[in-house]
Amino acid sequence: MVIDYKLYFAFQFIMCLIDNNDSSPYDNLTLRKKRMQQLQLEPTSQINTIFNEFGKSFPVDQSMPLIHAFTNVDVLIQKQSMIIEEHNKDMNFFKTEFEDFKENHKNLKTEIKKDLLVELATKADISNLHGEVKEEISNLRGEVKEEISNLRGEVKEEISILRGEVKEEISNLRGELKEDISNLRGELKEDISNLRGEMYAGFEKLSGEIKNIQIWMKVVVFFAVAIVAMFSPNFLAILKYFKI
């Protein structure tokens, strides 16, 4: 008896669909592959027994529809084989992509480590630079304080010397001013005394002149009165009265 393995595979596929109708298509395909692997390990007598039992389940008059059914099953098997091949291609593609992802992830980790090392080195450099800058600023602050202290001492010394010189100049100027004021006072007193003497002499001279003017004014008034009286009627009457 010649065994048609296609029919046997179709029978195994139908049994898988019947036994695992609640499973996913991927699980059915996996189970079918396992059955096909088991088929290679099963002995020929067992295959014949299974095929004979399968053939006895159908009458003779149903052989043609059964052949057509198994032909359709063969087409389905080919389609499933193509789907499995596509699935394997997709799995290989995903595997390749996953390997590329792992490689990129590894490279990314390496780059991140390099960046972290650079960042740590930069932080260390910044920390060292910060310490150096602090030290330089501290030294500069000390030098500036020392310079300011020295400058303050020099300025105080210069101010003290200048104060002494100014005091001496003021003292000398005060002495000179006192002397000049004293001399000016003496000169003013002398000038005032001379002016007073001149004024007294002038006043005396003016008083003498005024006295002389008063005398002459009296004489003039007397003569004027006398002249007026001489030509007055009363004066003539008086003269007649006294028979002068």
Each residue of 40-94: pLDDT tens digit?
444 444 444 544 555 555 444 444 445 555 566 667 777 777 888 887 887 888 8
pLDDT band at residue 101 using 50, 70 and 90 as cut-offs = confident
Phi, psi dihedrals of residue 67, rounded to the nearest 5°: -65, -40
pLDDT at 17: 52
Please state the domain extents for the chain.
5-57+66-112
Each residue of 116-135: pLDDT tens digit?
888 888 888 888 888 888 88
Q: Which residues contact 13 (CB under 8 A, 6 or more apart)?
A: 32, 73, 76, 77, 80
The half-sphere exposure of 87 on its side-chain side, counting CA atoms within 13 A, is 11
DSSP 116: H
Whole-number average pLDDT of the chain: 73
Each residue of 205-243: pLDDT tens digit?
887 888 888 787 877 877 777 777 666 666 666 666 665
Which tops the pLDDT comparison, 30 or 98?
A: 98
pLDDT band at residue 22 using 50, 70 and 90 as cut-offs = very low
Residue of 91, 89, 69 lying closest to 13 (CA atoms) = 69
Q: Which residue in the block uniquely carries the two structure tokens 């600023």? A: 137
pLDDT at 63: 46
Distance, in Å, from the CA atom of 183 to the CA atom of 167, rounded to the nearest integer, reads: 24
The half-sphere exposure of 237 on its side-chain side, counting CA atoms within 13 A, is 3
Alpha carbon distances (Å) from 52 to 49, 71, 73: 5, 19, 19
